[in-house]
Amino acid sequence: MDDFAAIDFETANPYRSSVCSVGVVVVRAGRVTDSLYRLIRPEPNYYMSWNTRVHGLTAVDTDSAPTFPEVWQEVVPLIGGLPLVAHNSPFDEGCLRAAFKRYELEYPDYRFYCTCRAARRVFKQLPNHRLETVAAACGFDLTQHHHALADAEACAEIAIRIL
């Protein structure tokens, strides 16, 4: 796959609709051509301490951020008709579907590919197939794990190598 958009969401609480940040990395002809990172005011708008411990974001970071529909209007022109790639795609696709449902938006028929599933087939020798482990096996240093853009960049590099 030479053309795709890697995507990663972080959430504020247990609800998948509570996306509080998104990272998107566009790959064309096997090369990164564009990227986007945005904070999002989550819905429902509250943070669980566990989520904050994972990604470091709090309500202070997102209270004045745009809502998901506003941010998604920026994302759509970037991704066009590209397939979406995520590490553990059921989570990210679930977030996207939940946000569309929460805001009563019609969900486009996005096609998702999962680098975690692909990594299980390609990297059988790894001790696990977490994003940081697979990224390291692909030569990518994921020093800001759980920052949506850093995770999308790692996912893009993995996908370039194994999809």
Residue 1 has pLDDT above 90, yes or no: no
The answer as to CATH 3.30.420.10 being correct for domain 4-162 is yes
Place of tokens 């990164």: 32
Average pLDDT over residues 137-163: 95
Average pLDDT over residues 32-55: 97
Angle formed at CA 87 by CA 47 and CA 62, multiple of 5 degrees? 25
Place of tokens 């001790």: 127
H-run or E-run covering 124: none
Domain boundaries, the chain: 4-162
Give tens-digit pLDDT for 85-134.
999 999 999 999 999 999 999 999 999 999 999 999 999 999 999 999 99
Q: State the pTM of this model.
A: 0.96
113/101 Cα distance (integer angstroms): 21
* Residue 27 DSSP symbol: E
> Percent of the chain beyond pLDDT 70?
100
